[in-house]
């Protein structure tokens, strides 16, 4: 109990310091050395850091840079506690910090808004919650799960960041939109695998007449997340228990909650036509992002029900 109170006091002190210093992100600070990161992480109750191999990564949309990642995991069973802290070291100094918590907390997000002087104009945005303060570009999600910060001023001074401060905000918004769009791709690829396995489980017959696609479906779990109070679907939606989703092993826990999914199918054997669709308006501005993969019988399928890898199409993936 005493340790918990000590950690809480340290967090409050860190927040107070952050109000005066935008480079201070929670218990950490942009520009820290590795030794300082280790000490701050230990003080915050995190596990010993995991040093990853140097790699080239896109630093919050500012461009591909050579970084040395450091990851520290949370030790607390309390989901409201800090779950993971990730750092990108550039020239032996922290240039990027990502804090991820184990739960959603709107009050935590609003507290960040207060501490880091977030403009009122973006606080109710669904996606583009990126702003700058004192040469630091920050981003949070609308659920208060994560906070990201990059040392734009430091990277600009070393000619690593080639855009203005306002440009850094724009590319960061695009970067996080790409992350959400990637969820649709991962979800649709998962569905493609499930459909291919289901199709391959059938007995082909002499003329492949047994190779039948799954039936077509409506958009599932619904037509648009913008009709939902939370602007996303519940993983527990009963819509996934309907055919053909249950037979395919697809459910809300396997699919991004920001998109609706549909199967369009016809034919059998050589005439099999399957189109898998992910559709979503992630910022509810009326413009829809659509991702499709079209599946046909594989050319290598002689006496088996085997689908090809599929042809992918993306329409306004970032809206």
DSSP string, 200-253: HTS---TTSTT--PPPP--SBS-S-GGGSTTSS--TT-GGGGSTTHHHHT--TT
Q: What is the pLDDT of residues 58-99, one digit of tens each?
A: 999 999 999 999 999 999 999 999 999 999 999 999 999 999
Do 168 and 139 meet the contact criterion of CB atoms below 8 Å apart?
no
Helix (H) / strand (E) containing 205: none
pLDDT at 12: 53
Are residues 143 and 268 both part of a single domain? Answer: no
Of 4 and 202, the one with more pLDDT: 202
Are residues 53 and 201 both part of a single domain? Answer: no
Residue 178 within any structural domain of the chain: no
Q: What is the pLDDT of residues 169-218, one digit of tens each?
A: 999 999 999 999 999 999 999 999 999 999 999 999 888 899 999 999 99
Residue 275 within any structural domain of the chain: yes
Structure tokens at 71: 């990851």
Are residues 142 and 237 both part of a single domain? Answer: no
Residue 174 within any structural domain of the chain: no
At residue 35, φ and ψ (nearest 5 deg) are: -60, -40
Are residues 29 and 155 both part of a single domain? Answer: yes
Are residues 301 and 200 both part of a single domain? Answer: yes
Are residues 195 and 157 both part of a single domain? Answer: no
Q: What is the pLDDT of residues 220-254, one digit of tens each?
A: 999 999 988 899 999 999 999 999 999 999 999 99
Domain that holds residue 59: 2-162
Residue 67 within any structural domain of the chain: yes
Number of domains in the chain: 2
Are residues 194 and 269 both part of a single domain? Answer: yes
Residue 176 within any structural domain of the chain: no
Residue 212 within any structural domain of the chain: yes
Are residues 155 and 241 both part of a single domain? Answer: no
């Amino acid at each position: 109990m005493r340790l918990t109170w000590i950690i809480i006091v340290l967090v409050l002190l860190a927040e107070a310091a952050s109000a005066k210093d935008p480079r201070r992100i929670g218990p950490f600070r942009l520009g820290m050395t590795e030794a300082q990161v280790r000490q701050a992480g230990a003080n915050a109750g995190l596990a010993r850091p995991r040093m990853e191999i140097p790699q080239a990564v896109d630093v919050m949309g500012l461009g591909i840079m050579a970084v040395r990642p450091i990851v520290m995991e949370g030790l607390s069973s309390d989901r409201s506690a800090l779950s993971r802290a990730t750092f990108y070291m550039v020239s032996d100094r922290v240039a990027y910090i990502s804090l991820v918590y184990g739960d959603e907390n709107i009050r935590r997000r609003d507290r960040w808004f207060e501490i880091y002087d977030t403009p009122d104009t973006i606080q109710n945005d669904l996606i583009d919650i990126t702003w700058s303060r004192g040469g630091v570009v920050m981003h949070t999600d609308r659920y208060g799960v994560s906070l990201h910060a990059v040392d734009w001023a430091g990277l600009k001074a070393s000619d690593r960041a080639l855009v203005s401060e306002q440009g850094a905000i724009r590319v960061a918004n695009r970067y996080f939109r790409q992350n959400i769009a990637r969820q649709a791709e991962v979800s649709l690829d998962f569905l493609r695998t499930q459909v291919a396995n289901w199709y391959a489980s059938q007995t082909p017959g002499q003329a492949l007449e047994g190779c039948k696609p799954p039936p077509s479906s409506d958009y599932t779990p619904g037509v648009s997340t913008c009709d939902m109070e939370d602007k996303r679907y519940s993983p527990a939606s009963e819509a996934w228990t309907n055919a053909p989703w249950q037979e395919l092993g697809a459910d809300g826990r396997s699919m991004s909650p920001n998109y609706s999914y549909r199967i369009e199918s016809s034919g059998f054997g050589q005439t099999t036509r399957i189109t898998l669709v992910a559709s979503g308006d992630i910022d509810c501005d009326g413009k829809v992002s659509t991702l499709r993969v079209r599946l046909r019988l594989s050319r290598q399928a002689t006496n088996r029900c085997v689908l090809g890898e599929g042809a992918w199409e993306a329409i306004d993936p970032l809206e």
